[in-house]
Amino acid sequence: MPMNYRRVMQISPLTKATALLAGVVLVLAGCGADESPPSTVAGPCSVVPNGTPAPKTPAPAVPSSGAATTSQNISTNPEVATGYRKDMTAVRTSTFAVVTANPLATQEACLVLSKGGTAADALVTAQAVLGLVEPQSSGIGGGGFLLYYDASSGSVQAYDGREVAPAAATENYLRWISDTDRTEPKPDARASGRSIGVPGILALLKEVHTEHGKTDWRELFDPAVTLADNGFDVSPRLAAAIADSAPELRVDANASAYFLNTDGGPKSAGTRLTNPAYAKTLGVIASDPQSFYTGDVARAIVAAATDASGGRTPSLMTVDDLSGYTVKKREPLCTPYRGKEICGMPPPSSGGIAVASTLGILEHLAMGDHKPTDVDLNGGRPSVMGVHLISEAERLAYADRDKYVADTDFVPLPGGSPNSLLNSDYLAGRAALISEQHTMGTAKPGDFGLPTTPAPPIPEHGTSQISVVDAQGNAASLTTTVESAFGSFHMVDGFILNNQLTDFSVEPMGPDGVPVANRVQPGKRPRSSMAPTLVFESGQAGTRGPLYAVLGSPGGSVIIQFVVKTVVGILDWGLDPQQAVSAVDFGAANSPKTNVGGEHPDIDTSGPPGLAGDHDPLVQGLRKLGHDVNLADQSSGLSAIVRDQTGGQERSDSGNVTGWVGGADPRREGLVMGDTGR
């Protein structure tokens, strides 16, 4: 008898936290009794396991012409995939909600909100805990992009906490060791010190807390410090990531001692981990956050980045690089779609522009005519034409993104602003290039007469997403990352250092000798695909209406596809946020391959040798249109919180709209929490 239950555990003390996660682990691992235990009413910030594991044997990867491939590609599989939780249900809350990729982080952030904390406060606690329990994805050694909505002023602010290249970095920094030693960094660019950018996430969190926080800064680190000291159990997802990266983790003494057993084997799920070094670091940061950039922590970061042990090529980062780091406040990128206002990140994130471009193209197409069929808790079966049109629009958007988008402090956009790439007439012309009869395979970028060369695709990697709405109506969408799983594999003072600089183009020049926009330059921020997103109702006379949704996803370069799928699912196809998040992941970068997530229970990946998915109607239909379908498991980590309109717009005594519906990605361990039970 298959399991299908949502078991409630009432908790509050942090000392019980790992026991709570153990309950979730049982569900994720497919263990438990045959009969569903009786459910009780969920209280605020209760851990409510959601969904049933749907194990699936992937089809063998046998590439051939026209075949559906399933081989792992780190651009589309930024972290090792860990399956799918079937039949997750949307979670309804009254006044506040939060979603992260790990139940422990979600719960502690939720408790901050339950005590009157703001979305800014919740972000600090969530990131501190995620850096402990999900270190493969994000942490204080990384960076991120944040969209923050301040309900009192109605303003949206975009915070750029992206890592930067050291002052000594040249355009050949990732290409070779030096001008006199033109060999590649050892053991490769990613695992060498050359990949490590100056971390920005802590500076971002401090700035947003100063401007929008309410809870004392020091108090926000207490949950992570206690958990690091008392210990937590390795989750199945973390265990899978450790096993996948064990050979690389062995090279770094600190990482090896922490993540691996004494025999060099990976620590398994359920292993109890303590991290006193991380607890000490957080204690220092809680008392003096600037010490991360100017004090002992800064010096330790530089020492780790420049460590040449194990034959690794060292970074050229200095303490001056850290002390000079600044968060950039940028103008959010807000564009219309289906009567809503979609706000995203501007460059150096390409995510906001690419999502806006894709949606702007789709607005010229009747997407409502191509809804999924057999809609259920898992989002239904996508229509062939729906997937085709979205994938084609994304090809066009990625083509422009690849050629024109980089750090605008160094490389201006066509016309000096996003408007040239996003104006309605231009996007109408791009939409006209889409055929319903055949895929374009690879799209050409628009011609703006600029002497830039499209950069070769850069494999972007692992990330995490935090989505929050607080009781005061403020909201935050933070996409946070150390880049690849476990970043650069360099560990210092209990946390992982990023490998974010590998988001730069290794080759500084194109085949035509023209500089690539996303080449390495000193102090430059590498292009990203992170796409934290806020959605608003359109007000009268072009004004901003009420907050409608908060969403985002990890997933490297595929983030754009994950976010577009979710926005279209909610706005065009009428899916609730859980259905939209749970639905089949699909889309395309600017290449002949079209992604269809083979981990989804509705996708049949079986078939004869070389034709995986041959029995699936979606794959069959896409193949007839010329798509080369990639059926590799997707590892999105989507979260979405949408205003609940089922019972009208209820309002609290303060006048804030109440009622939210949240969805967490079944492909990770995340949960939605808030003041449930209404």
Closest by CA to 108, choosing from 14, 179, 15, is 14
- Where are the alpha helices (H) located in 260-370, listed in sequence order? 276-287, 291-294, 296-305, 319-323, 351-362
Helices (H), 250-290: 253-259, 276-287
Active site residue 646: no
- Do 54 and 141 touch, CB atoms closer than 8 A? no
C-alpha 559/C-alpha 553 separation (Å) is 6
CA distance 16 to 532: 32
Q: Which helix (H) or strand (E) holds 401?
A: helix 384-404
Judge contact between 88 and 652, C-beta under 8 A. Answer: no
- Tell the burial category of 403 from Cβ atoms under 10 Å away from its Cβ (0-12, 13-18, 19+): buried
Cis ω before 608 (30° cut-off from 0): no
The number of C-alpha atoms within 13 Å of 238 and in the hemisphere containing its C-beta is: 28
Give the separation between CA 203 and CA 524, rounded to whole angstroms.
17
Q: DSSP per residue over 524-565, as a string?
A: PPPPB----EEEEEE-GGG-EEEEEEEEE---GGGHHHHHHH
Neighbours of 420 (CB within 10 A): 16
- Paired with 366 in beta bridges are none
The tokens describing 160, both together, are: 């750029």
User: What token pair was written down for 530?
Assistant: 């992170």
Q: Could you give the CA distance from residue 9 to residue 19 in angstroms, rounded to a whole number?
A: 10
Identified catalytic residue from 463, 502, 605, 658: 463
Those residues whose C-beta lies under 8 Å from the C-beta of residue 4, and which sit 6 or more positions away, are: 36, 52, 87
Count of other CB atoms within 10 angstroms of residue 42: 20
Give the chain's end-to-end CA distance (angstroms, integer): 31
Q: Are 536 and 341 in contact (CB under 8 A)?
A: yes
User: What is the three-state SS of 651-662?
Assistant: ECCCCCEECEEE
Among 491, 675, 574, 489, which residue's Cα sits nearest to residue 114? 675
Q: Where in the sequence numbering do the catalytic residues fall?
A: 463
